[in-house]
């Protein structure tokens, strides 16, 4: 059974979608349906420890892995900075 779906999109996006659909021999409705099928076929994302991190934090992860820094170094840094 097919059901009608109304989407509200910018006019420019609609025109680009229609052009793309015509170039690929499909209708916009067919492209949207294909996309929804694609989403349904994807495995559900699993929660990873990195999932809660932001992009900037993930980019920094492991940066100091090989650094020879310990808690005493950090305490000395704070002492130098604030005293």
pLDDT computed for residue 49 by the predictor: 67
What radius of gyration, in Å, describes the C-alpha atoms of the chain?
25
Stated pTM of the model = 0.50
The mean pLDDT of the chain is 87
- In the chain, where the domains are located: 11-41
Q: How far is CA 78 from CA 60, 64, 73, in A?
A: 21, 18, 9
| Confidence band for 27, pLDDT divided at 50, 70 and 90 | very high
| Confidence band for 47, pLDDT divided at 50, 70 and 90 | low
């Amino acid at each position: 059974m097919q059901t009608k779906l109304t989407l509200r999109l910018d006019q420019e996006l609609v025109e680009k979608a229609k052009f793309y659909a015509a170039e690929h021999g499909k209708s916009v409705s067919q492209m949207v349906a294909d996309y929804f099928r694609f989403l349904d076929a994807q495995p559900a994302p699993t929660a990873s420890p990195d999932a809660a991190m932001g992009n900037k934090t993930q980019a920094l992860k492991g940066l100091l892995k090989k650094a020879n820094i310990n808690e005493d170094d950090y305490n000395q840094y704070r002492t130098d900075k604030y005293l």
